[in-house]
């Protein structure tokens, strides 16, 4: 299994792409939502109710994309993510988020969904450097991961802009400020968990 950001065609948008996504088999959303594992206890200290925040972020991202199916989110650490990044992408360093599809969004006959793994230390550094709360940055990365599972990518400027706009709209549904707007501090002010 390879991370979404390193395999498969990028999301191109448009009617043809929407038809392709519509023909992808999907499962109805589970009654109990995404499977969430807090593998590193520091998440519990840094983010109030991290599993609840992750579940809400997955839910709004699924609604925004129109996709439904199993999503697993693991709140891990840099060491775990670095090992996975090396094994699956050949990059010997941690990254903020890795996504692994169960079946590519463009392929028929598979189950839509996947795994999202997020690295604590990297997210903490990025949030601090950007003046964001950990909760706001975590919500952003969960939505980013779900969009990758839905076929969106950011390897080219047009794709990146489309993905950023959808992330900003989706984050606003959680009460999180647009992280792409200069001079705005992304917080979870007004966000209900």
Q: Which two structure tokens, joined as six digits, stand for 37?
A: 């594992």
Is position 156 annotated in a ligand binding site? no
Is position 144 annotated in a ligand binding site? yes
CB-based burial of residue 155 (10 Å sphere; 0-12 exposed, 13-18 middle, 19+ buried)?
exposed
CA distances from 141 to 8, 21, 109, 145 (A): 20, 22, 28, 6
9: helix, strand or coil: coil
Residue with tokens 């489309």: 162
Annotated binding site for Zn(2+): 144, 148, 154
Annotated binding site: 144, 148, 154
């Amino acid at each position: 299994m390879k991370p979404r950001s390193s395999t498969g065609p990028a999301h191109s948008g448009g009617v043809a792409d929407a038809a392709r996504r519509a023909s992808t088999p999907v499962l109805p959303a589970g009654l109990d939502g995404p499977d969430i594992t807090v593998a590193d206890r520091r998440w519990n200290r840094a983010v109030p109710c991290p599993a609840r925040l992750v579940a809400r972020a997955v839910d709004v991202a699924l609604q925004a994309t129109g996709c439904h199916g199993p999503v697993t989110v693991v709140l891990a650490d840099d060491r775990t993510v670095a090992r996975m990044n090396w094994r699956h992408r050949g990059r010997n360093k941690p990254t903020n988020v890795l996504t692994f599809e169960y079946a590519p969004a463009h392929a028929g006959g598979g189950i839509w969904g996947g795994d999202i793994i997020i690295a604590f230390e990297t997210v903490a550094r990025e949030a601090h450097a950007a003046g964001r709360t950990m909760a706001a940055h975590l919500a952003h990365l969960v939505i980013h991961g779900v969009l990758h599972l839905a076929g969106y990518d950011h390897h080219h400027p047009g794709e990146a802009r489309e993905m950023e706009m959808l992330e900003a709209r989706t984050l606003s549904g959680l009460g999180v400020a647009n992280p792409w707007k200069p001079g705005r501090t992304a917080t979870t002010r007004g966000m209900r968990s």
